[in-house]
Structure 1
Amino acid sequence: MGTNIGYARVSATDQNLSLQVAALTAAGCSVIRTEKRSGTTTTGRTELATVLEFLRAGDTLSVTRIDRLARSMGDLQDIVRAIRAKGASLRATEQPIDTSTAAGKAFLDMLGVFAEFETNLRRERQAEGIAQAKAAGVYKGRPPSIQAEQVKTLHTAGTGATAIAEQLGISRASVYRILGAAN
């Protein structure tokens, strides 16, 4: 019998991992790795990479729900393939998922599709909300952090792009972008 390793994740730094950690501890996890990163990609999720690297044959990776592991079907499948390649299995404490069984594998695939669908719906609703707000004149985006008039004034006074960038604490590319837009 291998090691039961837990993985807990929340998306935002102000979210709490304690409920997931408690559930994984109750599920018998001897090691629990946690991180506060978005689940929409595996990029930058160092704790997940560490867990996947550490897994050995007979081990089990436990999560509370599969959306803690991945939000896209592609990432989920990649993670499950990596787990299987190590001879390990995946188990979710709040869902009937255990990749050591055929039914568990099938349920995992179905939940993965729904997790990706949910993410896509959220993105669509967000885009629709932004479009409505823009149409109503409410949403104008982030205010410019660079005062274009300052750049233009300094340039007119004969100050070079590098000096303008240093003086205003911005990049030379920003200075050139503003000056290019003015022409």
Structure 2
Amino acid sequence: MLLGCCRTSTADRNPDHQIDALVRNGVGRGNIHVDVASGAKASRPKLDLVMPLMREGDTVKVTRLDRLSRSVPHLVTLGAELRERGIGLHVVEQGVGTATTEGRAMFGMLSVPAELQAVYRKRCSRCSSAAAGGAGCTSRGWYATSLQSHI
């Protein structure tokens, strides 16, 4: 059976492009599970619900590795659990699957940039917030506020 997993960071994000990509890659709409959770969180209600239902020979499809997790330890743990249970993993946009030795190696290598991206995004957000607070940021954002002061 093919199972699809999607994730959005917040409820106002739209997962339709992920769902469409999974459907184009053979996953039935009824087998696509969408979580709304931060990528840094290991626990995902829908993923946690689906994991016990998967059987040997099933394949989990995701659009990108960062939709599954942004944490290398979580990806490695999840990948190992799937492999031990005989469940495949296919990353659609990156064309990587765990059915081959090469695919498993690529899975490991691609998980590192996913975690780096999350770290950089968090750092950038923190720096922007700190700079905005010092510049008298309003709800319109730091850039709009500082631009207005130069006009």
1-structure distance, mates of 2:59, 2:137: 47
CA drift of 1:16 comes to 1.0
> Per the alignment, in what secondary structure is the counterpart of residue 62 of structure 1?
strand
Which residue in the other structure is 2:130 paired with?
Answer: 131
Match of 2:36 in 1: 36
- RMSD of equivalent CA atoms: 1.6
Give the whole-Å Cα distance in 2 for the aligned partners of 1:64 and 1:54: 21
Secondary structure of 1:34's counterpart equals: strand
SS of structure 2 residue aligned to 1:61: strand
Matched residues, number: 136
Partner of 2:25: 27
The letter for the 2-side match of 1:96 is: G
Give the unaligned 5+ runs of structure 1: 141-183
Question: What is the CA-CA distance between 1:134 and the residue it aligns to?
Answer: 3.8
Q: CA deviation at 1:96?
A: 2.1
State the Cα distance separating 1:139 from its structure 2 match: 5.5
Separation in 2, partners of 1:47, 1:54: 11
**Which one of the candidate residues 8, 11, 24 is aligned to 1:10?**
8
Amino acid at match of 1:52: M
Map 1:5-154 to 2 at 5 A: 5-30=3-28, 31-43=31-43, 45-136=44-135, 138=136
Q: Give the secondary-structure state (helix, strand or coil) at the position aligned to 1:121.
A: helix
Greater C-alpha Rg: 1
For normalisation by structure 1, the TM-score amounts to 0.69
For 2:91 and 2:40, the matched residues in 1 are separated by: 18
Deviation digits for residues 107-143 of structure 1, max 9, x if unmatched? Answer: 111211001001111121122223323444x259xxx
AA of the residue aligned to 2:81: A
CA deviations over 1:4-41 (Å, ceiling 9, x no partner): 11111111111111111111111111311112221211
Aligned residues: percent identity? Answer: 34
Q: Distance in 2 between matches of 1:69 and 1:86?
A: 18
Larger relative contact order (C-alpha < 8 A, sep ≥ 6)?
Answer: 2
Instruction: Find the residue that maps to 2:56 and give its secondary structure.
Output: coil
Q: What is the identity, as a one-letter code, of the residue corresponding to 1:7?
A: C
